[in-house]
Amino acid sequence: MRKAGNFIDRQVGARVRSIRDAARVSMYDTAVLIGVSVDRYQRLEAGHERFEAPHLRALAEKFGVCVTEFFGRIEASEMESAGKSNVVPLSSVLH
């Protein structure tokens, strides 16, 4: 059984949907592309399930974006409001 989605899964799902909508690609065509049912794809975009790395790679190639586009920039304040105050933003570690 797949792990239930969390805050990051919802953020990634929303970014994928935004990019897919901007590209004017249907949910059905996108589900076929990554080899899942439309029902499962809906759960992925909603953040109820986690996209797998091969899915994100195929989507990035289809939409002509870098895989990191799906993660966007998640602000520390968003993490705190989601109850993730112990998470250190990667950007603070890299500087």
Looking up residue 53, the CATH number of its domain turns out to be: 1.10.260.40
The predicted pLDDT at position 80 comes to: 53
Burial class (CB in 10 A: 0-12, 13-18, 19+), 39: exposed
Q: Splitting the chain (95 residues) into consecutive groups of 10 residues, what average pLDDT does each group show?
A: 73 94 96 97 95 96 94 62 52 47
Write down the pLDDT at residue 6. Answer: 84
Range of the domain at 23: 7-94
Question: Residue 1 falls within a domain, yes or no?
Answer: no
Q: Does some domain include residue 52? A: yes
For residue 44, the model assigns a pLDDT of: 96
pLDDT at res. 52: 95
With respect to residue 26, please indicate whether it lies within any of the assigned structural domains. Answer: yes
**Confidence at residue 13, expressed as pLDDT on a 0 to 100 scale:** 95
